[in-house]
A and B are shown apart, each in its own frame.
Chain A
Amino acid sequence: MGNTWAILTKEVKSYLNSPVAYLFVAAFLGLTGYFYFEAFFLRRTAELRSFFELMPALYAVFLPALTMRLWAEEKKSGTLEVLLTMPVRNLELVLGKFLASLCLLVALLLLTVPVPVVVASLGPVDIGPIIGGYLGSVLLGASFLAVGLFFSSMTESQFVALILTWAVGVLFVVMGLDFVTRLLPVFTDLSLYSRFDNIARGVVDSRDLVYYISFISFFLGLNLTTLELRRWR
């Protein structure tokens, strides 16, 4: 798995070397802070539930931008040819790229830690939902990243990858809406968001963990398949 580490560090360096990543982080943090604190002083309670409730929508908008270039750019510039003629296993490539985007997500979440710290200084907070909120955020975010990475491997165009990932994000948002789950209750189990709500409430159920891990594995597996099939085209 030494190669996974090599791919991971290379991708993280690429993120850090591009100005887009910093704009991305600034925009994400700015919007999170704005939406949360806009209503915070009206609520007059030290609670973070509404903070984590922002995550699904923000992820749906932002995270596809993190993954869109990971494969599409390699395909477009031809560097994929160099990469695939080196002694690297396809699984190592997929994992390296996925973990690199996950590192950025985790860094992003660490940068939001001042928010609960500030809130805790203003009044008593319940620590369980905060830990749950972060855990859920990582799992939900990782699911989005896996979807985005897969769509990036389908196309040479970052833009197409972005649009397709957005479309899937919207699909899952719709699946989690109240009126949809009332009409078709099966979606409650399938939706990324209802699971997220459970974990963010501080209730970590192993079924929810298994759901996220299966979801992520499924899309990483699809990604692996597109890589394997490419050679035979």
Chain B
Amino acid sequence: MIEVEELSKSYGSFVATRDVSFTVKKGEVVGFLGPNGAGKSTTMRMLTCYLSPTRGTARVAGFDIVQDPHQVKLRLGYLPENTPLYSDLTTRDYLRFVCQVRRIPAARRKGAIDEVVRVCGLEKVFARPIGKLSKGYRQRIGIAQALVHDPDFLVLDEPTSGLDPNQIVEIRELIRRVGRQKTVILSTHILPEVSATCDRVVIINEGRIVADGTPEDLGRQIAGGDAYSIRVLESPGDVEETLRGLAGVSRVEVSSSHDPGVTVLRILSAENDRLGLEIHRLAAARGWNLLELRHETPTLEDVFIRLTLGGGTA
């Protein structure tokens, strides 16, 4: 478990993060989102004991990052932004070096290296100098380096930046797979990535946490409740009136349709979480020709833009 408590860092008068608090439970993959310069990397650097917080603290597996950095470092795997690697070492030498520093006993080193080489697909570049490898391979070596000691906690700063779509899919798969037994925090700009890999999202803007929840929860908060969209082969007036009568419906909007005779309506509800079922029953009772009934979730893009451009909290 990672518990972050009012973590703040300032450089002179510049405040990089302010009272950042959140927790990540075991087995959870949390996506850390925010515009450039929002404080994502600073927070990660504090969590990994690279920087000390100006105020506040965090605990990793119960160990305080300020009091007990050594214990924290033993349990963490970290991929910094831009994947810094030693370009004059070969993949093999680099991973061996990491194993040594990570205190993996000599007898288990070969097994540990073989395992990450397999998981990260590094067989072909094992004997080549890192400086001569493509961005995709470098990124995978960075992840291998973070995984080789089988840590319980993983902090990945933009793990898929600079990869092509195939590689992105591979890395996401990898993160999801290892994320089942580990506690993972990853930062990214790519929003679909969060939906694909993360159980929860923490959005940071201008150094503060502005949202924390599952992508669905956040969407619901932004939309002000659940939204359903229906298409019926009826005239609008009667349908609209009847839907307004349903318990918990806050608004009904009629949108235009390209198909003649088809009416499209959007129904919003603040508190009725079984609205879909009720709409369905109503349609059946009235004998409407129901073409489509859909639960609308605002995309993470909507949430992100609303929270980081508009300012304000969800």
Contact = CB atoms under 8 A, between A and B. Distances in A.
Interface stretch (A43-51, A78-86, A121-129, A209-217): A78-86
Interface residues of A, number: 27
A82 B89 contact: no
B51 interface: yes
Contacts of A2: 100, 103
A156 B97 CA distance: 23
Interface residues of B, number: 30
Contact of A78 (B52, B82, B129): B82
Contacts of A5: 100
A30 interface: no
A232 B66 CA distance: 11
Given A6-B97, A77-B84, A84 B89 contact: no
A13 B89 contact: yes
Contacts of A194: none
Interface in A78-98: 78-89
B80 interface: yes
Interface string A1-20: 01101110110011001100
B76 A81 contact: no
B129 A6 contact: no
Interface string B69-107: 010011010101110111111000100011011110000
Interface of A: 2-3, 5-7, 9-10, 13-14, 17-18, 77-89, 231-233
A116 to B, nearest CB: 34
Contact of A10 (B76, B86, B87, B102): B86
Interface stretch (B42-50, B175-183, B280-288): B42-50
A87 B84 contact: no
A82 B130 CA distance: 16
Closest 4 CB pairs of A and B: A78-B84, A6-B100, A87-B73, A85-B48
A83 to B, nearest CB: 8
B269 interface: no
A183 to B, nearest CB: 45
A3 B102 CA distance: 9
Contact of B73 (A9, A81, A85): A85
B160 interface: no
A87 B89 contact: no
A79 B88 CA distance: 12
A89 B70 CA distance: 8
Given A14-B86, A17-B89, A81-B80, A87 B74 contact: yes
